[in-house]
A = this chain, B = another copy of it.
């Protein structure tokens, strides 16, 4: 049976992608950030999964206002990097895992999560920047990736609790797949940032770090945080953090297993407008 080996959490700031694409990773501004991901890249090489289930949000890229799915699972064979207005990022095409994705879709829809199944989709920086941060800039990504997009753009967005419970259902689905795959689940976006209005530039280092503590040690409590707290404390785009709860809800301890091992933790301000947080949790 397939098994979730670890969960990875990281912000997915577009400027990080731009720094990579334009060769600025060694600029003094960017050095501390990329240094924080060096242990993650070593870890990733040592712990290579067979599939990554990657939770992210589409930033008005694949989904316009014509159709806004709350949860969308990518079941296609491949997903091309999107043109977000600057031309497509020069990164590899993402290879999907249609069989596992379909299996997860079937399982969680029958568990009362009302997914939208997507068979054609371009993927934006929300998905590709985390891959760069953990895998560098290879000619091909190291394994298939199942993109899972969450609406955090137009309100109402799903609650933290809903995301957490979805993580539990995804875990159950993956663990019932009849092939011995090592699967990682990633939650991306956040942490504190606001990209709009006179309050743009808000960063809340204390709140971010307290939230990381809670996510690690007491995910139930993290799942109970209401939307308004994210907006008020972590800026309007801080709401992206609900996506981390999907990954956290899929870990063994939530289903009665042992607490995960914290393999890496990193926090850095700023990357462009954003407080960058990053965790790696391993199932034991």
In angstroms, Cα B64 to Cα A119, docked, is: 10
How many residues of chain A get a CB closer than 8 Å to chain B's CBs? 30
Q: Chain B: which residue is nearest A76 at the CB level?
A: B66
Q: Which among B65, B67, B159 is the interface contact of A112 at CB below 8 angstroms?
A: B159
Do residues B119 and A67 form an inter-chain contact, with CB atoms below 8 A?
Answer: yes
The quantity of this chain's copies bound in the complex is 2
Does chain B have a CB within 8 A of A158? yes
- Interface stretch, picked from A93-101, A102-110, A190-198, is A102-110
Which residues of chain B are within 8 angstroms of A65 by Cβ–Cβ distance?
119-120
Known: A109-B156, A156-B105, A156-B109. A70 touches B162 (CB 8 A): no
Does chain B have a CB within 8 A of A61? no
Do residues A159 and B110 form an inter-chain contact, with CB atoms below 8 A?
Answer: yes
Does chain B have a CB within 8 A of A86? no
Which residues of chain B are within 8 angstroms of A162 by Cβ–Cβ distance?
112, 114
Q: Chain B: which residue is nearest A69 at the CB level?
A: B116
Do residues B114 and A158 form an inter-chain contact, with CB atoms below 8 A?
Answer: yes
A window 91-145: CB within 8 A of B: 105-106, 109-110, 112-121
In angstroms, Cα B258 to Cα A193, docked, is: 50
In angstroms, Cα B114 to Cα A117, docked, is: 12
Q: Which among B70, B110, B120, B156 is the interface contact of A116 at CB below 8 angstroms?
A: B70
Does chain B have a CB within 8 A of A6? no
In angstroms, Cα B219 to Cα A25, docked, is: 62
Known: A106-B155, A155-B106, A156-B105. A68 touches B114 (CB 8 A): no
Do residues A116 and B159 form an inter-chain contact, with CB atoms below 8 A?
Answer: no
Q: Which among B69, B105, B154 is the interface contact of A69 at CB below 8 angstroms?
A: B69
Contact with B along A221-251 (1 / 0, CB 8 A): 0000000000000000000000000000000
Which residues of chain B are within 8 angstroms of A68 by Cβ–Cβ distance?
116-119
Does chain B have a CB within 8 A of A280? no
Does chain B have a CB within 8 A of A16? no
Do residues A117 and B71 form an inter-chain contact, with CB atoms below 8 A?
Answer: no
Do residues A114 and B71 form an inter-chain contact, with CB atoms below 8 A?
Answer: yes
Does chain B have a CB within 8 A of A152? no
Does chain B have a CB within 8 A of A276? no
Q: Nearest Cβ in chain B — how far from A177, in angstroms?
A: 15
Besides A113-B114, A114-B115, 13 other A-B contacts (C-beta < 8 A): A65-B120, A66-B121, A67-B69, A67-B72, A67-B119, A68-B119, A69-B69, A105-B156, A110-B156, A112-B162, A112-B165, A116-B116, A117-B154
> Which A residues lie at the B interface, using CB under 8 A?
65-72, 105-106, 109-110, 112-121, 154-159, 162, 165
